């Protein structure tokens, strides 16, 4: 696509662009996003984009359509090229593609640098995610009374998707199904003749994981599992909304370290979600 910014073009990212996109993010101080791009390039609900000048990648962005809610993020512009309108052009193109995909509400997590632009485009602050880091746990957690933890199977996916839809008010089926191909865990009622799903954990990019659990102790258990699954020299990341204050306060008491108070901004109708069920994100760019 040609944009009103002279000489700047936006097109779909391909596998051949990943090295340039990773290098661009690393130069801005972000972590290595290679695994992130590997996932989004395989997921049909994701539209990763690059902005180019004379064939050189100077910007990136991602649009993810999750039913009526669309997420945009991973907007990076080469530092020497900033201030020329490329970031705005990329953001407007992401918004256009999400609306074309049927998204009524557009959602993002804003950096301090990006927030003024998003506000000019009409986005409003609705909450924050308390992103917190926890060190590796050497032992697997004991599940709460009347529950068991086990690896996820393909037969669990419909219940996982339904619980996620109720929690987020989004249709994240393509992304969660892609993550589930690698590994996942469920927390369920046990013993029971008809076990009920109490929560799930799907590891994603870097230290993130999609974690949903309506029950307080169930969510804490899944976060302990997330820490156990982290490498011995690594860490796990929680992402708990403002509205879930009891959870992030408990995590602080248990030694989790605050990493970032991440602003969630919306353009369009409010989302009828259950923030108190959310314990982790797929990624800051995808919710």
One CATH from 2.30.30, 3.40.1620, 3.30.450, 3.40.630 for 131-280: 3.40.630
Report whether pLDDT(274) > 60: yes
- On whether the CB atoms of residues 224 and 238 are closer than 8 A, the answer is no
Indicate where the chain has its CATH 3.40.630.30 domain(s).
9-103
In the prediction, which pLDDT does 192 show?
81
Name residues whose C-beta falls within 8 Å of residue 80's C-beta, 6 or more positions apart in sequence. Answer: none
Decide: helix, strand or coil at residue 124: strand
Check residue 247 and give its pLDDT. 97
pLDDT at 4 over 60: no
Q: Write out pLDDT tens, residues 65-84.
A: 999 999 999 999 999 988 89
pLDDT at 174 over 60: yes
* pLDDT at residue 32 is higher than 90: no
pLDDT for 96-108, tens place per residue? 999 999 999 999 9
- E strands, 3-96, where? 9-12, 46-53, 56-66, 69-77
pLDDT tens-digit map of 144-164: 999 999 999 999 999 999 999
Instruction: Write out pLDDT tens, residues 190-221.
Output: 998 777 999 999 999 889 999 999 999 999 99
Supply φ then ψ for residue 280, to 5 degrees: -160, 160
Q: To which H or E segment does residue 96 belong?
A: helix 86-100
218-248: pLDDT as tens digits: 999 999 999 999 999 999 999 999 999 999 9
Instruction: Look up the CATH number of domain 9-103.
Output: 3.40.630.30
pLDDT number for residue 2: 41
How much is the pLDDT for 283?
93
């Amino acid at each position: 696509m040609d944009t009103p910014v002279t000489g700047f073009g936006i097109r779909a990212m391909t596998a051949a662009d990943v090295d340039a996109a990773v290098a661009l993010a690393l130069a801005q101080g972000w972590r290595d996003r290679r695994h992130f791009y590997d996932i989004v390039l395989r997921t049909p609900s994701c539209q990763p984009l690059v902005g180019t000048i004379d064939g050189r990648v100077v910007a990136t962005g991602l649009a993810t359509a999750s039913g009526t809610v669309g997420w945009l993020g991973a907007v990076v512009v080469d530092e020497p090229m900033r201030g020329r309108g490329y970031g705005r052009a990329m953001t407007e193109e992401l918004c256009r593609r999400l609306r074309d995909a049927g998204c009524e509400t557009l959602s993002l997590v804003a950096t301090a640098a990006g927030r003024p632009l998003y506000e000019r485009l009409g986005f409003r602050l609705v909450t924050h995610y308390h992103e917190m880091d926890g060190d590796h746990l050497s032992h697997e957690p004991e599940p709460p009374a009347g529950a068991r933890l086990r690896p996820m199977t393909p037969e669990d996916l419909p219940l996982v998707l339904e619980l996620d839809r109720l929690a987020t008010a989004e249709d994240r089926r393509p992304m969660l199904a892609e993550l589930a191909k690698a590994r996942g865990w469920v927390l369920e009622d046990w013993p029971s003749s008809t076990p009920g799903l109490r929560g799930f954990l799907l590891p994603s990019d870097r230290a993130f994981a999609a974690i949903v659990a309506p029950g307080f102790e169930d969510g804490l258990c899944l976060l302990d599992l997330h820490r156990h699954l982290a490498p011995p020299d690594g860490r796990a990341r929680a992402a708990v909304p403002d509205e879930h204050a009891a959870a992030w306060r408990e995590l602080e008491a248990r030694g989790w370290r605050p990493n970032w108070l991440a602003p969630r901004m919306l353009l369009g109708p409010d989302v009828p979600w259950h923030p108190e069920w959310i314990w982790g994100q797929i990624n800051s760019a995808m919710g």
